Amino acid sequence: MNKKESLSAERRRKTVLSVVLAAICIIYVLPVLSVVINSFKYNTFVKTDTFALPVGEMWAGFQNFIKGMTFGNYPFWKSVLFSVVITVLSTALILLFTSMAAWYIARVNSKFCKAVYFLCVFSMVVPFQMVMFTLSKTADTLHLNTPWTIPIVYLGFGAGLAIFMFVGFVKSIPLEIEEAAAIDGCGPLRTYFSVVFPMLKPTLISVGILEIMWVWNDYLLPVLVLDINEYRTIPIHIQYLKGSYGTVDLGATMALILLSIIPVIIFYLLCQKHIIKGVAAGAVKG
């Protein structure tokens, strides 16, 4: 009798918890929904009727989207293109070169390797403001100020976390596998690319996700390094909508924000499992 009672109490508790969580869930989605509804509203109504549905005279159709495309005298598709180029190139560079260096560091383990590793760990606690001025000047001098060369800057500033995660993983791979490959006649290059690299896959995915999220959303590094009259990424584009003129067309801004978060949300829903795992793995760096 007593057990039955406690069971039904348990069930009631779970129902209450479910209701509370569902309510929080709805509150969580509301900000994104408000972007959606306001991107279809005429500018004048965004401020006065932020939470109303875009009906009647407020309905602007796709006008905000069309307007947003060339807003601020800079075509939006160009920002999208540069964001994609920078994110893809930077992530590819970081994954390839830091995993190679991490393998070398873990296997050779000379004094030089230890020094590089220590510096990498150290760089993780240095805030970007510490180096932002000198880094942007250095990048300027070396002509690393275009979307095709800025990935080198990302490789340099982002190497710390990636090396740290890869070294940790390489150390857990038994040396015997590589020795067997060497005995079978593989040189270091072949051993790395046909034996070690495929084994790194889980960490490659984790690091890749972290780097994509970082580079895609980064504002300060590209705004300081790139020539922003010519090259703008999506975050720079959105920031300069507000910066360039006194009044902002909020409807058009919301339309661009919606366009920029749709691919992110699709990417998230497709690779959710990997993203959550990658984030959890990256956090354990502490």
Partner 1 sequence: MKNFFKNPLRRWAWLFMGPVVAAFAIGFVWPFIQGIWLSLCKFRLISDAKFIGFGNYAQALTDPSFMHSFWYTALFAVVSLVLINVLAFAVALALTSGIKGSNLYRTVFFMPNLIGGIVLGYIWSMIFDGILSRYGTSILMETKYGFWGLIILMCWQQIGYMMIIYIAGLQAVPGDMLEAAKIDGANKWQTLFKVTIPNVMPSITICTFLGLTNGFKLFDQNLALTAGQPFIIQPDGSTIKTTEMLALNIYNTFYGSNSASQGVAQAKAVLFFILVAGLGLAQLAYTRKREVQQ
Contact positions with partner 1 (CB under 8 A) in 123-152:
123, 125-135, 137-139, 142, 144, 152
Task: Count each helix (H run) and each strand (E run) in the chain, helices first.
Answer: 15, 0
> What is the radius of gyration, based on Cα positions, of the chain?
25
What binding mask, one character per residue, do residues 33-72 give for partner 1 by CB under 8 A, x or -?
A: -xx--x-------xxx-xx---------------------
Q: Buried b / exposed e across 36-73, counting CB within 10 Å, b at 16+?
A: ebbbbbbbebbeeeeeeebeeebebeebbbebbeebbe
Binding residue for partner 1, selected from 67, 173, 188, 228, defined by CB under 8 A: 188
The span from the CA of 77 to the CA of 4, in Å, is: 63
Q: Does 167 bind partner 1 (CB under 8 A)?
A: no
- Residue pair 282/165 in contact (Cβ under 8 Å)? The answer is yes
Size of interface with partner 1, in residues (CB under 8 A): 99
Q: Does 178 bind partner 1 (CB under 8 A)?
A: yes
- Residue pair 140/225 in contact (Cβ under 8 Å)? The answer is yes
- Residue pair 102/116 in contact (Cβ under 8 Å)? The answer is no
Q: Which is nearer to partner 1, 1 or 283 (CB)?
A: 283
Q: Which is nearer to partner 1, 75 or 188 (CB)?
A: 188
- Residue pair 189/265 in contact (Cβ under 8 Å)? The answer is no
Residues 87-126 close enough to bind partner 1 by CB under 8 A: 93, 97-98, 100-101, 103-105, 107-108, 112-113, 116, 119-120, 123, 125-126
Q: Which is nearer to partner 1, 178 or 211 (CB)?
A: 178
What binding mask, one character per residue, do residues 264-283 give for partner 1 by CB under 8 A, x or -?
A: xx-xxx--x--xx--xx--x
Binding residue for partner 1, selected from 58, 159, 170, 255, defined by CB under 8 A: 159
Residues 6 or more apart in contact with residue 150 via CB below 8 angstroms: 86, 90, 139, 144, 221, 222, 225, 226
Q: Which is nearer to partner 1, 16 or 66 (CB)?
A: 16
CB atoms within 10 A of CB 133: 10
Q: Does 29 bind partner 1 (CB under 8 A)?
A: yes
Q: Which is nearer to partner 1, 17 or 53 (CB)?
A: 17
- Residue 72 has, within 13 A of its CA and on its CB side, a CA count of 30
User: Shortest distance, CB of residue 192 to partner 1, whole angstroms?
Assistant: 8
